[in-house]
Amino acid sequence: MDTYMAGLRPIFDFMKGKVYVGTAITVKEVSTTHEPMEVVQKRFQETGRSRIDHALAAIDFAEPGDIIVIDGEGMEDVAIWGENMAMLAKRNGVCAVVLYGGVRDVAKIRELEFPVFAKGVSPRGSGYFLESIGFNVPVTCGGVQVRPGDIIVGDEDGVVSAPKEYASKVLEVAQEILEKERITKEAIKQARYALESYPSGRPKILEELKKKRREESR
């Protein structure tokens, strides 16, 4: 199971060196570019709804420390998040937002120091290019399905999602990996050869290397 959301990256320098962890609050948006703009506009007017309704609901529903995940079908040239929503989210204690789409107002959001992971940056508003169809429903971002309540982790390397039912197992495996990394770092300090630095030791390859060195030195 791949948990890495391909193509998403931290937008701001102040996010460097930090790790953002929270429970997912999801929003599903779909492209309307296959429809004439007048048709979409008329539908919005008749229903009294706008593209941002579910995103606003997510902000209101979120608990402090939650991470809002918006599936904008990867349309990085359309902004699905901006300054006003960042202000509301920060006020409500939202940890960060993950956008499978674009963000705008980056200078203002940088001043707010609100963390954003996104596929791209665009001054183009979503307008009638996207329509919100669901809140706290399963979404797909960067090839990964995210459900409400799943665990989201984001840092300089990108964003991953862990199914909520595997949270304790993920923590256990992560701790095992950290311990292996600690052992490897200690080995690096002591090892003469790079091949000695890892727990497996790569003994056969290392012996071949040493033998070759001995032969060359004759």
pLDDT of 8 strictly over 60: yes
**pTM for the structure as a whole:** 0.84
9-162 has which fold?
Glucose Oxidase; domain 1 (3.50.30)
Q: Of all residues in the chain, what percent carry a pLDDT higher than 70?
A: 91
What is the per-residue pLDDT across 166-204, written as a single tens digit (0 to 9) for each? 988 888 988 998 888 888 888 778 777 776 666 565 666
CB burial string 195-217: b at 16+ within 10 A, e below:
bebeeeebeeeeeeeeeeeeeee
pLDDT of 81 strictly over 70: yes
Angle at CA 144, nearest 5°, toward 174 and 84? 100
pLDDT for position 55: 93
Kindly list the distances between the CA atom of residue 107 and the CA atoms of 2, 47, 87, 113, 121, in Å, as whole numbers in the listed order: 33, 34, 13, 10, 11
Residue 108 structure tokens: 């203002």
What is the per-residue pLDDT across 89-137, written as a single tens digit (0 to 9) for each? 999 999 999 999 999 999 999 999 999 999 999 998 877 788 888 999 9
- Residue limits of CATH 3.50.30.40 in the chain: 9-162
What is the per-residue pLDDT across 12-44, written as a single tens digit (0 to 9) for each? 999 999 999 999 999 999 888 888 877 877 887
CB atoms within 10 A of CB 149: 15
Read out DSSP for the chain?
---B-TT-EE--GGGTT--EEEEEEEEEEEE-TTS-HHHHHHHHHHHT--TTHHHHHHHHHPPTT-EEEEEEEEEEEEE---HHHHHHHHHTT--EEEEEEEE--HHHHHHHT--EEEEEE-S-B-TTTEEEEEESS-EEETTEEE-TT-EEEEETTEEEEE-GGGHHHHHHHHHHHHHHHHHHHHHHHH-SSGGGSSTT--HHHHHHHHHHHHHHH-
140-154 average pLDDT score? 96
Bridge partners (DSSP) listed for residue 151: 23, 162
